[in-house]
Structure 1
Amino acid sequence: MNTIVAPSNTITMSSREIAELTGKQHKDVIRDIRVMRKALVGDGADLRHLHEIKDGRDYTSEFHLDRLLTETLLTGYSIPLRHRVVTRLSELENVSRHVVSIPQSLPEALRLAADLADRNGELQRVITDQAPKVAAIKRLAAAGGAICITDAAKQLGVAPSRLFSWLEQHRWIFRRHGGKRWVAYQPRISSGHMTHKVTALRPDPETGIERAAFDPMITPKGLTRLAELMQEAA
């Protein structure tokens, strides 16, 4: 096969990434770039690969610099900071080198087609694996806040009795000894999957003590997790 290697001399780095890599404030990096630009303009340097990006208010949002200008900027930085940015530039260059193989015969074309089919199959597997998360996000968006278990069952497309049974079996809810009301397990509350709705009841007629009922509720996070578990089981 013939090989074509894409050129890597157009690699650019944004001032924001430079700030992240060096731990500097972005406004300070922009200031340094302007100082560098002023000095290079006075020296007659080529600044075609220094691009200033502005927002809707005409303020500088960020700069984009090619490798040469990035390394020039780093001259005034410490050695560890220069090393971080130069290492990142090398990584970007490696990513930008695309090797394109052009089949020159039928067997080579068939091998290329087989390789592409394998990659497509792998991509399809990733999509399939992500399907429960996608469905969960849709249900989450429709659900809003915490909802009761019966409403959660509707969102999940299962019978309420089945969901109650599943939640009990997998230790999401339980009934206290001698009690009739469901209660959420504390670990499920601590993890943010469930919460309780507190309803004030009439005071005890004999003691006058105020009472309250605790109804288990499924949070959006809990509904997301249930949607994933239900689809994985299916």
Structure 2
Amino acid sequence: MQTVTSVNTPLNLPTRFAFQPNVSRTMSSREIANVTGKRHDNVMQVIRALAADQILTPESQESSFEHKGNTYACWDLSKRDSLVLVARLSPEFTASVVDRWMELEGQAIQPRELSTMDILQIAMESEKARLLLTIQVEAQAVKIHSMENLFKEGMTHTQFCKGLNGVNVMQVGNALEGRNWLFNESKSGLRWRVASYARDKYMTEHQVEITPHGKDPFISFTPVLLKKGAAKLYDLYLSELLPMKKTWDGRFTHDKALKEAV
């Protein structure tokens, strides 16, 4: 068996301790020898016994160090394993090792001084976020302005969609039927009524009594959009979830308005 010479070094010897979150935090067996006042070779014997009994965790690893031109074995132990080792070596020194760990952990959380490049990078990221937020706010404002300019009280879905560039207005009724906004009460043609799902939420109905010449009067129902329904319809339009014409140029109404205003 190789004999390892005990090397006692001051308490400020380098400790492989994490100053970054992705590096495992460890304490050297040499430092534990100094804290407990034990010879390093004796500390190593106990560590090897713990390793042989599979008591140590994988986070603890055997290592080496150089002293006066010679290479010696040592261990880098996790916090848990260092406390197990001290409990085996000298229980009365457990508090000293805990204090040392608290000191090391306090050093680890100290923020490093920012370099000029760090400050510039932070400033660039902040400005990028500000510009992105400005663009998003402006786009939302244009969207709301465009929708409000299009919507008028009492509008039908067909009338509203005529103001949406590229929408196939002849197919919108069928699309809204698929979303349970409308249903067709006619068996031979189209006579749209507002479905219960959308009634008073997205749409309502205007009722008109019609009296044909020589016939009995009847009630005609016309589905009309509410403002919330117009906003929802506009969102479906921007998400390309409404039926679009094959000749659509790919521009939305507010995009087209902005281009023409420039």
Q: Same fold (TM over 0.5)?
A: no
TM-score range for the pair, normalised by the shorter chain length: 0.3 to 0.5
- TM-score with structure 2 length normalisation? 0.40
More helix by share: 1
- Whose radius of gyration is greater, 1 or 2? 2
More strand by share: 1
Larger relative CO (CA 8 A, sep 6+): 1 or 2? 1
- TM-score with structure 1 length normalisation? 0.44
